[in-house]
Amino acid sequence: MNKIKIFGSLRSRASRCVWAAEEAGVAYELVAVDTGKGEQKAADYLKINPNAHVPAMQDGDLTMFESLAINLYIAKKSAGPLAPKDLREDALMTMWSMWAITEVERHAIEYLLHTAIFPPEKRDAAAPQKALEALEKPFAILDATLAAGGGCLVGGRFTIADLNVCAVAMWLRSAPKEFHAKFPHIGAWIMKARARPARQKIDAGN
């Protein structure tokens, strides 16, 4: 089987795609694009991802951007347990992936920017609390869904829906324990996901 190419680094959202490829058993090559050096703006890379972001993915003549869409593709390419087994599961896995990006990621990134990424002088002291408040509603929905689904989002097994949502929810790992205490099912689900051999490989390489 030809290797798919994943562009980026394990310190970027490309790690989500590497995690998916490892879980799915899809052969891949991680092609280094270092955003710290501005390599996402190089003319050759812009032909692959005109958004000047990582990750991007190439499989033969298919080129994709958007990490969670790439992951849905990787799961379906593998046709294993990570992938939807029918149209209904496909619909739900797409729904959860879009939900993670629209309802969770924008607040999670605000939290990270103002607690870790921005230099201290650029941080807004009120932003982390505001982000956590905005996350209460989506996290309550996620927590209740996991409680009802036996610790999984779709189909009673670990799927690309869990991986995609978890990869985003993990960004809140440094949030205060009072925040996490409100969502015990999310905490248990993230711990289980982190213990998966495919995820451990990513964390070890990071």
Ligand X SMILES: N[C@@H](CCC(=O)N[C@@H](CS)C(=O)NCC(=O)O)C(=O)O
Order of strands, edge to edge, in the sheet holding 62-65? 28-32, 4-8, 56-59, 62-65
Residue 121 to residue 161: CA distance in whole angstroms: 37
| Among the listed residues 19, 45, 67, 108, the single contact to ligand X using CB under 6 A | 67
| Among the listed residues 4, 23, 31, 53, the single contact to ligand X using CB under 6 A | 53
| Among the listed residues 7, 12, 84, 183, the single contact to ligand X using CB under 6 A | 12
Of 39 and 89, the one with the shorter C-beta distance to ligand X is 39
> 71: closest CA among 152, 168, 143, 157?
168
| Among the listed residues 22, 23, 66, 162, the single contact to ligand X using CB under 6 A | 66
Q: Judged by CB under 6 A, does residue 103 bind ligand X?
A: no
Q: E strands of the chain, at which residues?
A: 4-8, 28-32, 56-59, 62-65
With CB under 6 A as the contact rule, which of the stretches 52-60, 113-121, 145-153, 196-204 interacts with ligand X? 52-60
Q: Judged by CB under 6 A, does residue 35 bind ligand X?
A: yes
- Least gap, CB of 137 to ligand X (angstroms): 21
Tell me phi and psi for residue 62, to 5 degrees: -95, 125
Distances 38 to 64, 108, 111, 198 between C-alpha atoms, Å: 20, 23, 24, 29
Q: Judged by CB under 6 A, does residue 164 bind ligand X?
A: no
Of 117 and 140, the one with the shorter C-beta distance to ligand X is 117
Interface with ligand X by CB under 6 A: which residues? 12-13, 35, 40, 52-55, 66-67
